[in-house]
Structure 1
């Protein structure tokens, strides 16, 4: 079998004996699982799937299932969820697999490395995990199968996916601007996007077009978007508009103080992390992905993080957390404390 790069676009076929789906996007994990199962059924006819929970399953039980033969001799698809937990099992699982000292592979990982080096032809092993530690197993799997990343795409890719998905699956079309707005509003996780597309398609009717106005009407503001209304003012680096906006939110719009406080703390957390990562040489795109910054937030947060030292941000973040705790304990005037804190944040950031 030809080698497949772990980062190559997924092409799952019936020749693969071991497949790893790694990453937190459950929608992609399920979509690729269906792709693999369809390929196996096309090649082998009826297949027999077996599922294990890696958090509780014994490695020996999974391997026994792969190596045993059923009465009907159908091809097996053995699926392990939380596979990272299975491979991290610390206890010895076989007498012939001794512990290799501190820092070496666990007995479970060693057993699956051994299996991947000589897998059964009558079974396909599918390992699914939200988190994954690369190692020798990856190299072995690349020879007999594939390793597929299951991570949410960037905003542009997700919006393009929405346009294609809507036309193919939901009997409607969505304007590119509306697709971008939808992604910016709820994020790039494909499962959530697909659910919203189904609701929007039902709202506009068969064959109709989804517009930005439909998005604004049907897709409510998330907590993060409500927070961004506050954070975007703070990032302008001008105290006067901050005070005006805070008073408007608390006294006119009657927004809860807890939400406003959370928005300030969340912004400081993102700025601190971004400032650290940028100074460590991380690429801005990777920092944005780590912090889930999309659209305008990506540009403004990263710009501010470049101009403020991490230690300064850490000190203000600690102050904000302590102020929040005092407020929840009934100590001091929370609205006044929040106003002073917001002014400090705005003063620290260079004016836009």
Structure 2
């Protein structure tokens, strides 16, 4: 069961003796764990919780925690973090425990994975397996950010703001939530968080600077474009953060280019790509200067540059950014 579905249904689900919280998204792990801890201990967290690290504890210690009577009544909670090795080393003992769990406590195992073909997996109740994975599609991440702003931080995000935030941060829900929390304070006097807020607070003005750089490209002033890039490097700007702003802008241009190639009016193509009315003139100039042939290669260039910066190339990140700009400016 995915964590959001579990949280939605938690009140009507029967409490289980064993839970497994699994997956790669730490933020969702913490969210599921907090909800379970509140349900099981009901205010007695300080005295009813036994925390263990999987590779530093034995099954006997965990079992003792589970079978000990709670001082204030109710159930005890034994929480094993990083439990992958713990499960592997204690599989036979856990299988016996799954068959006859203690009525005094609840066991939570936090793992990075939980293979479905094991005996333990088949013994675990369906509603006791909580999966924690970030959305894989950008559209889903954008929707998650918008919902998080509205429901958790009481501050709506404009769609373009959520798009830019995902471009800058990526599929890290913990960081996205932290940035949304900061943005909610930053834009406290505004009805909603807009893309300008995201650029200034999260992107540190990178998007605005990159727009100026692309304006130079649109005007055919390659020298000024490279000069601005070098100035940004000299000011200490990190290539990876600049690439995030490049990526956000180029993806919109590529999207508009595809519509234009389908014989759609340019104004329509730019609007569908997310350009505001007051930016359409310069965006159109940028798109025409880059040209149809190169716009079809933009997404491939972005992936290659991103992969290179993350260890896929021995070329320095600054040089990779310079190469990307050179390809955009080439004839």
TM-score (norm 1): 0.57
List gaps (5 residues or longer) in structure 2.
Answer: 211-219, 244-294
Cα 1:301–1:51 shift into 2, 3 Å: farther
Q: Any conservation in 2 of the 1:153–1:189 contact (CA below 8 Å)?
A: no
Q: Any conservation in 1 of the 2:49–2:76 contact (CA below 8 Å)?
A: yes
CA positional deviation for 1:301: 4.1
Distance 2:96 2:144 in 1: 39
Structure 1 match to 2:22: 22
Cα 1:30–1:250 shift into 2, 3 Å: closer
Structure 2 match to 1:160: 143
Cα 1:171–1:252 shift into 2, 3 Å: closer
Structure 2 match to 1:9: 5
CA positional deviation for 1:147: 1.2
Distance 2:67 2:128 in 1: 20
Q: Any conservation in 2 of the 1:21–1:29 contact (CA below 8 Å)?
A: yes
Distance 1:207 1:201 in 2: 9
Q: 1:124 aligns with which of 106, 112, 118?
A: 106
Q: Any conservation in 1 of the 2:3–2:28 contact (CA below 8 Å)?
A: no
Higher relative contact order (CA 8 A, sep 6+): 1
CA positional deviation for 1:216: 1.0
Distance 1:33 1:163 in 2: 23
CA positional deviation for 1:193: 1.4
Structure 2 match to 1:175: 158
What's the CA shift string for 1:68-113, capped at 9, x where partnerless?
323443211211100112123xxxxxxxxxxxxxxxxx4x122112
More helix by share: 2
Q: Any conservation in 1 of the 2:3–2:32 contact (CA below 8 Å)?
A: no
Structure 1 match to 2:176: 193
CA root-mean-square deviation: 4.4
What's the CA shift string for 1:293-346, capped at 9, x where partnerless?
xxx9xx9349989xxxxxxx9xxx99x53x77xxxxxxxxxx9xx69x969xx8
**SS in structure 2 at match of 1:210:** coil
Q: 1:209 aligns with which of 175, 181, 192?
A: 192
Cα 1:7–1:208 shift into 2, 3 Å: closer
Distance 2:144 2:191 in 1: 18
